[in-house]
Amino acid sequence: MSNLATTSRVYQMRWWTLGVMAISILIIVIDSSIVNIALPTLQRELNTSMSELQWIINAYIMAFAAPMLMMGALGDRWGRAYMLQVGIAVFGCASLAAVFASNGSQLIICRTIMGIGGAMILPTTLAIVTNIFPREERGRAIGVWAGMNAIGVALGPIIGGLIIDNLNWNWIFLINIPIAVVAIVAGFFLVPNSRDPNPQRPDYPGTVLSIAGLSLLVFGLIQGGDWGWTDPAVIGSLVASAVLIVLFIIWERYTDHPMLEIGFFRSPRFSAGIGAVGITGLSMMGVVFGLTLYMQFVNGYNALETGIRFVPLALGMFIGAGSADRVVARLGTTLVVVIGFIGSAALMVLASFWQVDTAYWILGSTLFGVGFFLGYIAAPATDAVMGALPEARAGVGSGITAVSRLVAASIGVASLGSALSSIYSSSFEKAASALAELPAEVMQAASDSVGAAVIVAQKLPSGVGEAVASIARESFMDGWQMMAFVACGISVIGVFLTLKYMPPRHQQLIKNGAGQR
């Protein structure tokens, strides 16, 4: 047990501190889910393209993920509570600036700064939880931490729906301000500061290489779907990212003060936990992106109705993550994570059969199950990662976990979103070609996305407009079916990798990436 966890007041207040961590994370989770719900509104109000919609999501993810390792290391060095306070302040100020954005480009800039603030918040919260809870309670605490994230997933769409239906879209960012104020004030009194007692000097070359490599990777993946995968800029970005990431690994392996100690990956539980977290991000973020469009443009729900219909997903995650630790105690991490992947894969097969008019009780039941099984993956995998590291390096460990999830999520949104768009466009153009009275410019606009088609259809004569909207919805479902099958396949891969590499119980901690203690 760490010295911090054994301090009397810190130990007695640990659950109150966990509550502050939940509030701090809430600002990140609510913002992400609100923005997802607001995508169709932003497309209408700011006249954003499909590419800009992806960038509103991915600019945040990229800015969130790229500096994460650096922020985790700085938190270990300077103090995690201090880093948390600064991160919340940055996030709040960027949210205030986003309120006044007048076009997609301005909003993308604000989202980028919010991502940087989020990168300061996330690794410190999990690192603080790891340090204030003893080993025998840590799995449960991480499960509660993950479950509280799920509550944010539920609150975000509902709050976002209420705001979008009753207020101007700008208020989706203004809601972050009171949460930030509460988190800062409560954190000042309830969050103990902790740091690495023997910090290494900053790794500036590693920081530059990691940020540049991850940024170019995400950029290439996103623009590949817009410009085409053979575009020289896309190919150049992906090749440059691969070179920089390889250089980063080489540098981290041989420098005497690495930001990311490559020896951490010698622990099977650490590596398998990182892999499990990344696989869930890869498979599910693209699906959530498509699901928002499905709810609003295919099913015709407004923003609030969409938010309410996301509740089963969040409730399932809360119950799954909160109960996983007790099941792990009996069955071991390996089996619980495998159950999570198998359940997710099976339910995505069922989701592939959804149609335009599928009843919501089927959708809601499926979403609850998906959320439950995701909780069975997320909480044990995160606990496996954090339990495999020395507590002094908890910030870096939290950063690695977040980076794997966010980079994988970015790849999922970019690749699955691009494939969805491509299949939709091809299917729509083929079906709509039979409408001889449809002008070429209308065809081009409607083939961009289902949202654009629905908007265009409202401006056409009733008969033609209804035909265009119907074709667009059916074309979207062609792309959705592909997304669901791909997500299923990724989860199946997770089953085999977990069975092969994940030890069922905690082993000795890694010490400085070089040995065991």
The answer to whether 449 touches 424, Cβ cutoff 8 Å, is yes
Q: Which pair of tokens denotes residue 250?
A: 């080489």
Which spans in 133-256 are helix H? 135-166, 171-174, 176-190, 204-227, 232-254
Distances (CA, A) of 294 to 39, 40, 160, 287, 451: 12, 11, 17, 10, 10
Of the two residues 198 and 490, the one the predictor is more confident about is: 490
The yes-or-no verdict on residue 91 having pLDDT over 90 is yes
Candidate from 139-143, 261-265, 309-313, 438-442 with smallest mean pLDDT = 438-442
Match 């609030």 to its residue by tokens: 304
Contact 449, 296 (CB under 8 A): no
Cα separation, 326 vs 136, in Å, equals 12
Are 176 and 91 within 8 A, CB to CB? yes
Q: What is the pLDDT of residue 367?
A: 92
What's the chain's average pLDDT?
Answer: 80
Q: What does the pLDDT read at residue 509?
A: 47
Residue range 167-187, pLDDT digits in tens = 777 888 888 888 888 888 888
pLDDT value of position 394: 65
**Predicted local distance difference test score (pLDDT) of residue 194:** 73
- Examine the pLDDT at 3 and tell me if it is beyond 80: no
331: left (phi over 0), alpha (psi -120 to 50) or beta: alpha
CB-count burial class (<10 Å; 0-12, 13-18, 19+) for 84: buried
Helix, strand, or coil here: 516? Answer: strand
Quick: pLDDT tens for 310-337.
Answer: 889 888 988 888 888 888 888 888 999 9
In this prediction, residue 261 carries a pLDDT of 76
- Give the pLDDT band (50/70/90) at residue 417: confident
Instruction: Report the C-alpha gap between 457 and 446 in whole angstroms.
Output: 8
Question: Once rounded to an integer, what is the mean pLDDT over residues 374-381?
Answer: 88
User: 102 φ, ψ to 5°?
Assistant: -115, -5
Q: 124-134 burial by CB neighbour count: b if 16+ within 10 A, else e?
A: bbbbbbbbbbe
Within 8 A by CB and 6+ apart from 355, the residues are 477
When mean pLDDT is compared over 45-49, 163-167, 308-312, the highest value belongs to 308-312
Residue written as tokens 């909207």?
A: 469
Q: Evaluate if pTM is beyond 0.85.
A: no
**pLDDT tens, 97-152?**
988 887 778 888 999 999 899 888 888 888 888 777 777 777 777 777 777 777 77
250-274 burial code (b ≥16 CB/10 A, e <16): ebbeeeeebbbbebbeebebbbbbb
What does the pLDDT read at residue 337? 92
Q: Among 5-9, 21-25, 229-233, which is the least confidently predicted range?
A: 5-9
In the chain, the amino acid numbered 305 is: E
Output 18 or 222, whichever has higher pLDDT. Answer: 18
What band does 89 get if pLDDT is binned at 50, 70 and 90? very high
Question: Which amino acid is present at 320?
Answer: G
> For the chain, what percent of residues have pLDDT higher than 90?
13
Q: Distances in Å between the alpha carbon of 125 and those of 324, 394, 496, 515?
A: 20, 10, 31, 27
pLDDT at 392 over 70: no
Which residues are registered as beta bridge partners of 511?
515
For the ranges 156-165, 248-257, 283-292, 381-390, the maximum mean pLDDT occurs at 248-257
Most confident of 10-14, 40-44, 182-186, 437-441: 182-186
